[in-house]
Structure 1
Amino acid sequence: MKKMIIIIFTLVVFTTISFGTTYTIVNSGFTFSPSNLTINMGDTVNFILSSIHTAREVNQATWDANGTTSNGGFDLPNSGGTIVLNQTGTYYYVCVPHASLGMKGTITVNTATEVKQVDKTAPNNFVLMQNYPNPFNPTTTISFSLPAKSFVSLAVFNAQGKEVSMLINEELSAGYYSKKWNGMNLSSGVYYYRLEAGQFIETKKLILLK
Protein backbone atom coordinates (compact mmCIF):
# COMPACT_ATOMS: atom_id res chain seq x y z
CA MET A 1 0.00 0.00 0.00
CA LYS A 2 2.83 2.37 0.91
CA LYS A 3 4.59 1.62 -2.40
CA MET A 4 1.39 2.36 -4.32
CA ILE A 5 1.01 5.72 -2.56
CA ILE A 6 4.60 6.63 -3.48
CA ILE A 7 4.02 5.68 -7.13
CA ILE A 8 0.82 7.71 -7.30
CA PHE A 9 2.54 10.70 -5.70
CA THR A 10 5.39 10.49 -8.22
CA LEU A 11 2.93 10.42 -11.11
CA VAL A 12 1.08 13.44 -9.73
CA VAL A 13 4.32 15.42 -9.41
CA PHE A 14 5.40 14.47 -12.94
CA THR A 15 2.02 15.41 -14.39
CA THR A 16 2.00 18.75 -12.59
CA ILE A 17 5.46 19.60 -13.86
CA SER A 18 4.71 18.56 -17.46
CA PHE A 19 1.55 20.62 -17.96
CA GLY A 20 1.90 23.91 -19.80
CA THR A 21 0.77 27.26 -18.50
CA THR A 22 -2.41 29.03 -19.58
CA TYR A 23 -2.19 32.74 -20.36
CA THR A 24 -5.04 35.17 -20.95
CA ILE A 25 -5.17 38.08 -23.39
CA VAL A 26 -8.03 40.56 -23.06
CA ASN A 27 -8.89 43.80 -24.76
CA SER A 28 -8.72 47.18 -23.06
CA GLY A 29 -10.69 49.34 -25.43
CA PHE A 30 -8.90 49.01 -28.76
CA THR A 31 -5.73 47.51 -27.31
CA PHE A 32 -4.78 43.90 -26.58
CA SER A 33 -3.53 43.38 -23.03
CA PRO A 34 -0.84 42.22 -22.80
CA SER A 35 0.01 43.22 -26.35
CA ASN A 36 3.38 41.43 -26.22
CA LEU A 37 3.43 38.03 -24.54
CA THR A 38 6.28 35.53 -24.12
CA ILE A 39 5.39 31.88 -23.43
CA ASN A 40 6.85 28.40 -23.72
CA MET A 41 6.12 25.93 -26.50
CA GLY A 42 2.93 24.01 -25.71
CA ASP A 43 1.44 26.72 -23.49
CA THR A 44 -2.19 27.77 -23.97
CA VAL A 45 -3.34 31.30 -24.77
CA ASN A 46 -6.94 32.22 -24.04
CA PHE A 47 -8.28 35.32 -25.80
CA ILE A 48 -11.20 36.86 -23.90
CA LEU A 49 -12.44 39.73 -26.06
CA SER A 50 -15.54 41.85 -26.37
CA SER A 51 -17.96 40.96 -29.16
CA ILE A 52 -16.54 43.51 -31.62
CA HIS A 53 -12.97 42.20 -31.53
CA THR A 54 -11.19 39.28 -33.23
CA ALA A 55 -7.64 37.90 -33.32
CA ARG A 56 -6.15 36.85 -36.67
CA GLU A 57 -2.59 35.69 -37.23
CA VAL A 58 -0.74 37.58 -39.97
CA ASN A 59 2.85 37.79 -41.18
CA GLN A 60 5.18 40.50 -39.92
CA ALA A 61 4.92 42.66 -43.05
CA THR A 62 1.12 42.69 -42.81
CA TRP A 63 1.36 43.38 -39.08
CA ASP A 64 3.76 46.29 -39.64
CA ALA A 65 1.34 47.78 -42.19
CA ASN A 66 -1.71 47.32 -39.91
CA GLY A 67 -3.17 44.97 -42.52
CA THR A 68 -5.51 42.02 -42.05
CA THR A 69 -4.51 39.39 -44.65
CA SER A 70 -4.28 36.00 -42.95
CA ASN A 71 -1.08 33.98 -43.17
CA GLY A 72 -3.04 30.75 -42.65
CA GLY A 73 -2.48 30.61 -38.91
CA PHE A 74 -4.98 31.02 -36.09
CA ASP A 75 -8.09 33.08 -36.79
CA LEU A 76 -10.31 33.63 -33.76
CA PRO A 77 -13.81 35.05 -34.26
CA ASN A 78 -15.58 37.79 -32.32
CA SER A 79 -15.20 37.34 -28.55
CA GLY A 80 -11.97 35.32 -28.98
CA GLY A 81 -11.11 31.70 -28.24
CA THR A 82 -8.24 29.45 -27.21
CA ILE A 83 -5.03 28.46 -29.02
CA VAL A 84 -2.08 26.20 -28.20
CA LEU A 85 1.23 27.14 -29.85
CA ASN A 86 3.59 24.23 -30.45
CA GLN A 87 6.30 25.89 -32.56
CA THR A 88 8.88 28.41 -31.45
CA GLY A 89 9.02 31.86 -32.98
CA THR A 90 7.06 35.10 -32.94
CA TYR A 91 3.37 35.08 -33.85
CA TYR A 92 1.89 38.34 -35.11
CA TYR A 93 -1.85 38.98 -34.84
CA VAL A 94 -4.37 41.77 -35.37
CA CYS A 95 -7.99 42.58 -34.64
CA VAL A 96 -9.51 42.45 -38.13
CA PRO A 97 -12.10 45.26 -37.68
CA HIS A 98 -9.63 47.53 -35.90
CA ALA A 99 -6.19 46.74 -37.33
CA SER A 100 -6.16 50.16 -39.01
CA LEU A 101 -6.32 51.67 -35.51
CA GLY A 102 -3.22 49.72 -34.50
CA MET A 103 -5.00 47.03 -32.49
CA LYS A 104 -2.44 44.25 -32.73
CA GLY A 105 -0.07 42.14 -30.67
CA THR A 106 2.66 39.52 -30.66
CA ILE A 107 3.22 36.19 -28.93
CA THR A 108 6.81 34.95 -28.67
CA VAL A 109 7.14 31.21 -28.11
CA ASN A 110 10.31 29.81 -26.54
CA THR A 111 11.43 26.20 -26.34
CA ALA A 112 9.63 24.44 -23.50
CA THR A 113 11.82 23.06 -20.75
CA GLU A 114 10.51 21.08 -17.81
CA VAL A 115 11.29 21.85 -14.21
CA LYS A 116 13.97 19.35 -13.22
CA GLN A 117 13.92 18.07 -9.65
CA VAL A 118 17.57 17.29 -9.02
CA ASP A 119 17.22 16.10 -5.40
CA LYS A 120 14.10 15.11 -3.46
CA THR A 121 15.81 15.61 -0.09
CA ALA A 122 14.06 18.46 1.71
CA PRO A 123 16.49 21.37 2.21
CA ASN A 124 16.46 23.53 5.34
CA ASN A 125 15.74 26.87 3.67
CA PHE A 126 14.29 28.59 0.64
CA VAL A 127 17.23 29.51 -1.58
CA LEU A 128 17.41 31.12 -5.02
CA MET A 129 20.83 30.55 -6.57
CA GLN A 130 22.65 32.67 -9.12
CA ASN A 131 21.99 31.49 -12.65
CA TYR A 132 24.78 29.68 -14.49
CA PRO A 133 26.37 30.58 -16.82
CA ASN A 134 26.12 34.32 -16.32
CA PRO A 135 26.55 36.18 -18.63
CA PHE A 136 24.98 33.71 -21.09
CA ASN A 137 23.91 33.29 -24.72
CA PRO A 138 21.19 32.21 -25.22
CA THR A 139 20.47 29.66 -22.46
CA THR A 140 21.13 29.62 -18.73
CA THR A 141 20.05 27.52 -15.76
CA ILE A 142 18.28 28.85 -12.67
CA SER A 143 18.35 26.67 -9.54
CA PHE A 144 16.45 26.94 -6.28
CA SER A 145 15.49 24.93 -3.22
CA LEU A 146 12.18 24.49 -1.38
CA PRO A 147 12.06 23.24 2.23
CA ALA A 148 8.33 22.52 1.94
CA LYS A 149 5.66 22.05 -0.71
CA SER A 150 4.92 25.50 -2.12
CA PHE A 151 3.16 27.24 -4.96
CA VAL A 152 6.08 28.54 -7.00
CA SER A 153 6.29 31.45 -9.40
CA LEU A 154 9.55 31.98 -11.28
CA ALA A 155 9.52 34.84 -13.79
CA VAL A 156 12.01 36.90 -15.79
CA PHE A 157 11.71 40.68 -16.14
CA ASN A 158 13.49 43.26 -18.28
CA ALA A 159 15.25 46.31 -16.86
CA GLN A 160 11.99 48.28 -17.02
CA GLY A 161 10.24 45.76 -14.78
CA LYS A 162 8.11 44.21 -17.54
CA GLU A 163 7.64 40.44 -17.37
CA VAL A 164 9.19 38.80 -20.44
CA SER A 165 8.87 35.13 -19.49
CA MET A 166 6.96 33.09 -16.90
CA LEU A 167 9.08 29.99 -16.30
CA ILE A 168 7.16 28.30 -13.48
CA ASN A 169 3.69 28.91 -12.11
CA GLU A 170 2.64 25.78 -10.22
CA GLU A 171 2.85 23.85 -6.96
CA LEU A 172 6.07 21.90 -6.34
CA SER A 173 7.06 19.53 -3.55
CA ALA A 174 10.06 20.11 -1.29
CA GLY A 175 13.44 19.58 -2.95
CA TYR A 176 16.13 21.07 -5.16
CA TYR A 177 15.13 22.23 -8.64
CA SER A 178 16.68 23.65 -11.79
CA LYS A 179 15.05 25.35 -14.76
CA LYS A 180 16.62 26.27 -18.09
CA TRP A 181 15.73 29.58 -19.71
CA ASN A 182 16.26 30.45 -23.36
CA GLY A 183 16.53 34.15 -24.19
CA MET A 184 17.01 33.67 -27.94
CA ASN A 185 14.15 36.03 -28.85
CA LEU A 186 15.29 38.85 -26.58
CA SER A 187 17.92 41.53 -27.06
CA SER A 188 21.16 41.68 -25.11
CA GLY A 189 20.96 43.38 -21.75
CA VAL A 190 20.33 43.09 -18.04
CA TYR A 191 17.34 41.05 -16.89
CA TYR A 192 16.05 39.99 -13.50
CA TYR A 193 14.53 36.72 -12.33
CA ARG A 194 12.24 36.52 -9.32
CA LEU A 195 11.25 33.50 -7.27
CA GLU A 196 8.08 33.59 -5.18
CA ALA A 197 7.30 30.57 -3.00
CA GLY A 198 4.87 31.09 -0.14
CA GLN A 199 6.17 34.07 1.84
CA PHE A 200 9.62 33.80 0.25
CA ILE A 201 10.45 36.33 -2.48
CA GLU A 202 13.92 36.92 -3.95
CA THR A 203 15.22 38.58 -7.11
CA LYS A 204 18.58 38.18 -8.85
CA LYS A 205 20.18 39.75 -11.91
CA LEU A 206 21.24 37.94 -15.08
CA ILE A 207 22.97 39.24 -18.20
CA LEU A 208 22.19 38.16 -21.76
CA LEU A 209 25.09 38.80 -24.17
CA LYS A 210 24.71 38.10 -27.89
Structure 2
Amino acid sequence: MKNFITLITILSVHLNFLAQTTHTINAGSYYYNPSSLTIDIGDSVVWINDGGFHDVNGDINSVTGQPYNNPETFDSPSTNVTGAVIFSYKFTVAGTYNYDCSVGSHAANGMIGTVIVEDNNTSIDELFSSFSFVTHNKNSNTINLNFIISENEASVALYNIEGKLIQANNIITKTGENNHILHLNKPLGKGIYIVSLNHGQQKTTKKLIVK
Protein backbone atom coordinates (compact mmCIF):
# COMPACT_ATOMS: atom_id res chain seq x y z
CA MET A 1 0.00 0.00 0.00
CA LYS A 2 2.89 2.36 0.76
CA ASN A 3 4.25 1.76 -2.72
CA PHE A 4 0.79 2.40 -4.22
CA ILE A 5 0.43 5.75 -2.43
CA THR A 6 3.98 6.72 -3.43
CA LEU A 7 3.25 5.84 -7.06
CA ILE A 8 0.12 8.02 -7.05
CA THR A 9 2.05 10.95 -5.57
CA ILE A 10 4.92 10.66 -8.06
CA LEU A 11 2.56 10.36 -11.02
CA SER A 12 0.52 13.37 -9.90
CA VAL A 13 3.66 15.52 -9.54
CA HIS A 14 4.92 14.27 -12.91
CA LEU A 15 1.66 15.16 -14.66
CA ASN A 16 1.65 18.64 -13.13
CA PHE A 17 5.25 19.14 -14.28
CA LEU A 18 4.41 18.09 -17.84
CA ALA A 19 1.47 20.49 -17.92
CA GLN A 20 3.60 23.55 -17.14
CA THR A 21 4.25 25.82 -20.13
CA THR A 22 6.09 29.09 -20.69
CA HIS A 23 4.14 31.70 -22.68
CA THR A 24 5.50 34.85 -24.33
CA ILE A 25 3.88 38.29 -24.48
CA ASN A 26 5.49 40.98 -26.63
CA ALA A 27 5.42 44.62 -25.52
CA GLY A 28 5.81 47.64 -27.79
CA SER A 29 4.40 51.09 -28.46
CA TYR A 30 1.14 51.05 -26.48
CA TYR A 31 0.51 47.33 -26.79
CA TYR A 32 0.93 43.93 -25.22
CA ASN A 33 0.55 41.10 -27.70
CA PRO A 34 -1.48 39.10 -26.96
CA SER A 35 -3.39 41.55 -24.79
CA SER A 36 -5.38 38.69 -23.25
CA LEU A 37 -3.83 35.31 -22.51
CA THR A 38 -5.39 32.20 -20.94
CA ILE A 39 -3.00 29.75 -19.27
CA ASP A 40 -3.03 26.86 -16.81
CA ILE A 41 -2.05 27.16 -13.18
CA GLY A 42 1.70 26.57 -12.83
CA ASP A 43 2.48 28.11 -16.23
CA SER A 44 4.94 30.98 -16.62
CA VAL A 45 4.66 34.14 -18.71
CA VAL A 46 7.63 36.07 -20.12
CA TRP A 47 7.20 39.64 -21.39
CA ILE A 48 9.63 40.64 -24.18
CA ASN A 49 10.38 44.25 -25.12
CA ASP A 50 9.87 44.93 -28.84
CA GLY A 51 11.09 48.50 -28.39
CA GLY A 52 10.52 51.51 -26.17
CA PHE A 53 10.49 51.98 -22.40
CA HIS A 54 8.07 49.59 -20.67
CA ASP A 55 7.28 47.64 -17.53
CA VAL A 56 4.65 45.16 -16.31
CA ASN A 57 2.51 46.52 -13.49
CA GLY A 58 -0.02 44.23 -11.81
CA ASP A 59 -0.34 46.26 -8.62
CA ILE A 60 -2.00 49.70 -8.95
CA ASN A 61 -4.04 50.66 -12.02
CA SER A 62 -2.02 53.44 -13.67
CA VAL A 63 -5.17 55.09 -15.06
CA THR A 64 -7.53 54.99 -12.06
CA GLY A 65 -5.01 54.80 -9.22
CA GLN A 66 -7.00 51.94 -7.69
CA PRO A 67 -5.56 48.51 -6.79
CA TYR A 68 -6.05 45.79 -9.36
CA ASN A 69 -6.82 43.33 -6.55
CA ASN A 70 -5.29 40.47 -8.51
CA PRO A 71 -5.07 37.06 -6.80
CA GLU A 72 -1.34 37.82 -6.47
CA THR A 73 0.41 41.16 -6.95
CA PHE A 74 3.35 41.58 -9.30
CA ASP A 75 5.35 44.56 -10.55
CA SER A 76 8.50 44.79 -12.63
CA PRO A 77 11.27 47.32 -13.20
CA SER A 78 11.08 49.16 -16.52
CA THR A 79 13.54 48.68 -19.38
CA ASN A 80 14.26 50.29 -22.74
CA VAL A 81 16.46 47.50 -24.07
CA THR A 82 14.99 46.07 -27.26
CA GLY A 83 14.69 42.29 -27.12
CA ALA A 84 15.18 42.20 -23.35
CA VAL A 85 12.98 40.30 -20.93
CA ILE A 86 10.90 42.91 -19.14
CA PHE A 87 9.48 40.47 -16.65
CA SER A 88 8.93 36.77 -16.01
CA TYR A 89 6.32 35.38 -13.64
CA LYS A 90 5.06 31.93 -12.69
CA PHE A 91 1.33 31.89 -11.91
CA THR A 92 0.51 29.50 -9.08
CA VAL A 93 -2.92 30.86 -8.09
CA ALA A 94 -5.94 30.60 -10.39
CA GLY A 95 -7.88 33.74 -11.30
CA THR A 96 -7.89 36.80 -13.56
CA TYR A 97 -4.86 39.10 -13.50
CA ASN A 98 -5.07 42.61 -14.98
CA TYR A 99 -1.95 44.68 -15.57
CA ASP A 100 -0.64 47.70 -17.49
CA CYS A 101 2.49 49.63 -18.40
CA SER A 102 2.98 52.31 -15.75
CA VAL A 103 5.51 54.29 -17.80
CA GLY A 104 4.22 57.76 -18.73
CA SER A 105 0.78 57.68 -20.36
CA HIS A 106 1.22 54.21 -21.87
CA ALA A 107 -1.69 52.68 -19.94
CA ALA A 108 -3.98 55.59 -20.82
CA ASN A 109 -3.10 54.97 -24.47
CA GLY A 110 -4.24 51.37 -24.27
CA MET A 111 -1.17 49.48 -23.05
CA ILE A 112 -3.06 47.11 -20.77
CA GLY A 113 -3.31 43.34 -20.59
CA THR A 114 -5.00 40.40 -18.91
CA VAL A 115 -3.80 36.92 -17.93
CA ILE A 116 -6.47 34.36 -17.06
CA VAL A 117 -5.15 31.43 -15.02
CA GLU A 118 -7.25 28.26 -15.04
CA ASP A 119 -6.84 25.32 -12.67
CA ASN A 120 -6.85 22.40 -15.10
CA ASN A 121 -4.44 20.09 -13.28
CA THR A 122 -5.55 16.48 -13.11
CA SER A 123 -6.11 15.44 -9.51
CA ILE A 124 -5.33 12.09 -7.92
CA ASP A 125 -9.04 11.46 -7.37
CA GLU A 126 -9.83 12.07 -11.06
CA LEU A 127 -7.14 9.59 -12.08
CA PHE A 128 -7.74 6.75 -9.68
CA SER A 129 -11.21 6.94 -8.20
CA SER A 130 -14.79 6.21 -9.17
CA PHE A 131 -15.88 7.48 -5.75
CA SER A 132 -18.27 10.42 -5.75
CA PHE A 133 -17.68 11.11 -2.07
CA VAL A 134 -16.52 9.55 1.19
CA THR A 135 -17.64 11.07 4.49
CA HIS A 136 -17.05 10.17 8.12
CA ASN A 137 -19.80 10.32 10.75
CA LYS A 138 -18.21 10.52 14.17
CA ASN A 139 -21.49 10.15 16.07
CA SER A 140 -22.48 6.88 14.41
CA ASN A 141 -18.87 5.70 13.93
CA THR A 142 -19.48 5.05 10.23
CA ILE A 143 -18.13 5.99 6.82
CA ASN A 144 -20.63 6.84 4.09
CA LEU A 145 -19.49 5.78 0.60
CA ASN A 146 -20.97 6.84 -2.72
CA PHE A 147 -19.45 5.22 -5.80
CA ILE A 148 -20.11 3.92 -9.29
CA ILE A 149 -19.24 0.31 -10.03
CA SER A 150 -19.87 -2.35 -12.68
CA GLU A 151 -19.63 -5.37 -10.35
CA ASN A 152 -22.11 -7.07 -8.01
CA GLU A 153 -19.52 -7.67 -5.33
CA ALA A 154 -16.67 -5.60 -3.95
CA SER A 155 -14.51 -5.15 -0.90
CA VAL A 156 -13.72 -1.99 1.02
CA ALA A 157 -10.48 -1.54 2.93
CA LEU A 158 -9.46 1.31 5.21
CA TYR A 159 -5.79 2.22 5.68
CA ASN A 160 -4.01 4.87 7.66
CA ILE A 161 -1.68 7.25 5.83
CA GLU A 162 1.26 4.91 6.53
CA GLY A 163 -0.46 2.09 4.65
CA LYS A 164 -1.44 0.00 7.70
CA LEU A 165 -4.72 -1.87 7.23
CA ILE A 166 -7.33 -0.81 9.78
CA GLN A 167 -10.40 -2.65 8.52
CA ALA A 168 -11.60 -4.64 5.49
CA ASN A 169 -15.15 -5.67 4.55
CA ASN A 170 -16.80 -7.51 1.67
CA ILE A 171 -19.93 -5.72 0.43
CA ILE A 172 -22.80 -6.47 -1.94
CA THR A 173 -23.15 -3.89 -4.71
CA LYS A 174 -25.21 -3.23 -7.81
CA THR A 175 -24.21 -2.08 -11.26
CA GLY A 176 -24.21 1.71 -11.33
CA GLU A 177 -24.35 4.15 -8.43
CA ASN A 178 -24.12 2.76 -4.90
CA ASN A 179 -24.49 4.20 -1.42
CA HIS A 180 -22.93 2.12 1.32
CA ILE A 181 -22.47 2.70 5.03
CA LEU A 182 -19.31 1.14 6.43
CA HIS A 183 -19.61 0.45 10.17
CA LEU A 184 -16.24 0.91 11.82
CA ASN A 185 -14.90 -1.58 14.33
CA LYS A 186 -13.44 1.24 16.41
CA PRO A 187 -13.48 5.06 16.37
CA LEU A 188 -11.02 6.85 14.10
CA GLY A 189 -8.59 9.38 15.48
CA LYS A 190 -7.81 12.64 13.75
CA GLY A 191 -5.73 12.21 10.61
CA ILE A 192 -5.67 11.22 6.96
CA TYR A 193 -6.91 7.81 5.83
CA ILE A 194 -7.17 5.97 2.51
CA VAL A 195 -10.39 4.17 1.57
CA SER A 196 -9.80 1.49 -1.07
CA LEU A 197 -12.60 -0.02 -3.16
CA ASN A 198 -11.62 -3.31 -4.80
CA HIS A 199 -13.82 -4.72 -7.55
CA GLY A 200 -12.73 -7.34 -10.06
CA GLN A 201 -9.20 -6.50 -11.16
CA GLN A 202 -9.62 -2.82 -10.36
CA LYS A 203 -8.78 -0.82 -7.27
CA THR A 204 -9.95 2.75 -6.70
CA THR A 205 -9.05 4.95 -3.76
CA LYS A 206 -10.27 8.03 -1.97
CA LYS A 207 -8.62 10.16 0.69
CA LEU A 208 -10.56 10.63 3.93
CA ILE A 209 -9.70 13.41 6.37
CA VAL A 210 -10.93 12.97 9.93
CA LYS A 211 -10.88 16.19 11.95
Above 0.5 in TM-score?
A: no
What range is the shorter-chain TM-score in? 0.3 to 0.5
Q: Give the TM-score normalised by the residue count of structure 2.
A: 0.41
